[in-house]
Structure 1
Amino acid sequence: MRVISGSKKGRSLKAVAGTSTRPTTDKVKESIFNMIGPYFDGGRGLDLFAGSGGLGIEALSRGFEHCIFVDRDFKAIQTVKSNLKTLELTKHAQVYRNDAERALHAAAKRETGFRGIFLDPPYKEQKLKALLTLIDEYQMLEEDGFIVAEHDREVELPETVGDLVMTRKETYGLTGVAIYKKRG
């Protein structure tokens, strides 16, 4: 695994030891950022189910100012912290060990908005519709923001969730990727 582009282009990322996470492949990551970017002029990101932190780190490398990384797995949190330290990105990040719903509740209480939200839950625990509903209800997505929902290709996601509209959907092998933006 590596950073595909931006200020940290080509730098290696550690993967989470064991089989508790499924990292986004470099091919899928590059495709995602071609759909949403490819580069950014600031902004705040949220990487739920962060795993190794690859998606949030890619966003930082491509211009996000700050990213919050959340995962409930201790090994994943340690890996994210290690990758951020190696890439000298710790001052641009916050890392929390928490589950996704609680993290969204906490961010909503702080009235935190995001330009980019990355959702990549374990394929066997697809909660994407519920998470999209919470993000919409809490109005966490900035007006020009996007949500990347990575999922098993067999999962059918809704075209709309409240004010969120799916603007693009692609399949890469066993992986599906849906991009949501605010209606408007």
Structure 2
Amino acid sequence: MRVIAGKAKRLQLETIAGLDTRPTTDRIKETLFNILAQDLVDCDFLDLFSGSGAIGIEALSRGAKSAVFVENNKAAVNCIKSNLKITNLADSSTVLTMDALTAVNHLEKNGKVFDIIFMDPPYNNGFEKTILEYLDHSTVMNYNTIIVVEASLETDFSYLEDSNLEVYREKEYKTNKHVFIQKREGAN
């Protein structure tokens, strides 16, 4: 796994041994960042369920102003910190060792607002629903915030119809998809 573009281009990243994480392939990562390209420069990026940190590191490499990495697996946290050191991107990063919901609550209490929120939770466990339900009324996002969820192809987001959030784009791949979500126009 490597950084695809930007100031850390071509640098190899460490991954976590075992099957607890699913690193996003370079091809999928490139597609994702082509979609987000115009929103990345000088953005504040939140990477929930960070794994090795590859997505947040790619965002920083491509011009994000800052990134917060959230991961509760200690081996993964060590991997993120190592990758930030390898890429010389640690100065614009914060790594939080806690679960995603606790982290969002913590960030909210500290007045943080993010331009892009990315999450790649374990598939088919409903974690994204729990986080999205919290984000629906959270101050860590505003009307311009983009939420991207990496999920299995089977993951249903129809419950968002009863919220202030809406899916505005979906990109499907062979085994998973990226779902792009923003506040619904006229939402509270």
- SS of equivalent to 2:155: coil
Give 2:166's aligned residue: 165
Segments of 5+ residues of structure 2 without an aligned counterpart are none
Distance 2:105 2:96 in 1: 13
Distance 1:117 1:82 in 2: 22
Give 2:28's aligned residue: 28
> Any conservation in 1 of the 2:124–2:155 contact (CA below 8 Å)?
no
Give 1:59's aligned residue: 59
Give 2:45's aligned residue: 45
Give 2:178's aligned residue: 177
Distance 1:43 1:86 in 2: 22
Q: Superposed, which structure 2 residues align to 1:35-184 within 5 Å?
A: 35-37=35-37, 40-158=40-158, 160=161, 162-184=163-185
Segments of 5+ residues of structure 1 without an aligned counterpart are none
| Alignment length (residue pairs) | 184
* TM-score normalised according to structure 2 size: 0.91
* Greater percentage in strand: 1
How far apart are residue 15 of structure 1 and its match? Answer: 0.7
The amino acid that maps onto 1:176 is K
CA RMSD, Structure 1 to Structure 2 (Å)? 1.5
Identity %: 36
> In the TM superposition, what whole-angstrom CA distance separates every residue of 1:108-140 from its partner, at most 9, and x where no partner exists?
111211011111001142311221111121132
* TM-score normalised according to structure 1 size: 0.93
How far apart are residue 142 of structure 1 and its match? Answer: 3.4
How far apart are residue 149 of structure 1 and its match? Answer: 0.2
- SS of equivalent to 2:145: strand
Distance 2:59 2:15 in 1: 17
How far apart are residue 7 of structure 1 and its match? Answer: 1.5
